[in-house]
Amino acid sequence: MNEFLAAGYKKDLVLAALEARKNAYAPYSKFAVGAALQTQSGRIYTGCNIESASYSPTICAERTAVFKAVSEGYKSFRSIAIIGGKMGEGGSICPPCGVCLQVLLEFCDPDTFEVLLSQEDFHTRSYLLSELIPEGFRPERIL
Ligand code: THU
C-alpha cells in the first residue's frame, strides 16, 4: 500500500489538475477528472475528461493532457498529477485507466515518470509509471 506523502507535495501541479477538473465535460458519468502533465522542461499541460453522447469517443483527462502537449511539440515528461471524483464533490484518488497508462508508456520512461494521485486536501500518493503498468507493451518492442 502506497503511503500518502506530506500534504502539499508538488502543490503547483496538483492545483493545476484541480483547476482543470473544473472544465470536465461529463454529463453522462457525472465523474469529473483533471490532470496536469509536467514536461521535462517544466511546462505544464492540463486536461479534463470530455464525454460524448455516443460514449466511445469519450477521452480521459490524462490523454487530453498528453495529446495537447504532443500536439505542441512536447514529448518528454516528468510527472502527472490526477484528481477525480463525482461531480460536485471534492476530488479524490483516481488512478489512470489502462488506455491512459498505455498512452503514458508511449512517451514516458516507466522507471522515472511519476504519477501523483491526489485528493482535494492535497494529500498525494506517488507512483512510478512502472508500478501501475509493470508488464506493459512498450514501444521499444516494435521500434
Ligand atoms: N476518467 C478519466 O478522465 N480519467 C481516469 O483516470 C478514469 C476515468 C473519466 C472517463 C469518463 O469520462 C469518466 O471518468 C468516468 O469513467
Q: Whose CA is nearest to atom 2 of ligand 1?
A: 60
pLDDT(9) > 90: no
Residue given cell 509536467 in the structure block: 38
Known catalytic residues are 62
Q: Whose CA is nearest to atom 9 of ligand 1?
A: 60
Task: Compute, in angstroms, the gap from residue 4 CA to the centroid of ligand 1.
Answer: 22
- Is 37 strand, coil or helix? strand
Q: Which helix (H) or strand (E) segment is 131 a member of? A: helix 129-132
- Is 103 strand, coil or helix? helix
In percent, the amount of the chain with pLDDT more than 70 equals 99
CA-94 nearest atom, ligand 1: 6
pLDDT in tens, 11-65: 999 999 999 999 999 999 999 999 999 999 999 999 999 999 999 999 999 999 9
pLDDT in tens, 114-135: 999 999 999 999 999 999 999 9
CA 139 – CA 119 distance, rounded (Å)? 32
pTM over 0.85: yes
CA 113 – CA 96 distance, rounded (Å)? 14
